Amino acid sequence: MLTMCSDEQLLGMIGCGEKDAFEELYRRYAPMIRNVLRTYLFSAEDLLDLLQEVTLQLWQKAAAFDPSRGNARGWIAMIARSRALDYLRGRRRAPLPEAIEDDLPATAAAPCQASALAIRQAVAQLPGSQRELVTLAYVQGMSHSQIAARLNRPLGTVKTQIRASMSQLRSAMVA
């Protein structure tokens, strides 16, 4: 019976504590949530931890979902993205102990450094306003709403420009 319910109906039922509705929503959206998290995380362990955090937040905040502000899919994706960005902002990289550093081959970091250099060069090729948007979104971790407010631009315009910038970067990286 729950398979016939819309995502919005499921969220309403979850807000009332319906565990079966939560299981159905999880079945529908766990793959999408994993994909969103994968774009920000490299560790399978981190991904599983954050998947748990996202699903917990869905359970706790389902009653706050407002269908007049957007669809369930977008709301769920936004929660996943927010948790990933919060995690990345809070993570502190501990330096490797000297004994481990000494054991690493000199070329161990070369692929990462080459990729980082290629990304920096591709970003540098973007026009100034696009470069600023990408930097604010992906380096400083600002949300699209925060960027729109900071730059005094409409939210839709910011989203469109970021999407276009990312498409341009993808093309530059593939070429």
How many independent structural domains does the chain possess? Answer: 2
* Per-residue pLDDT reduced to its tens digit, 113-122: 556 667 777 8
What is the model's pTM?
Answer: 0.52
The domain that contains 51 carries what CATH number? 1.10.1740.10
Q: Please report whether residue 103 resides in a domain.
A: no
d(C-alpha 108, C-alpha 113), whole Å: 10
Confidence of residue 76 (pLDDT cuts 50, 70, 90): very high
What distance lies between CA 173 and its chain's CA centroid?
20
Q: Which domain holds residue 44?
A: 2-90
DSSP state of 94: P
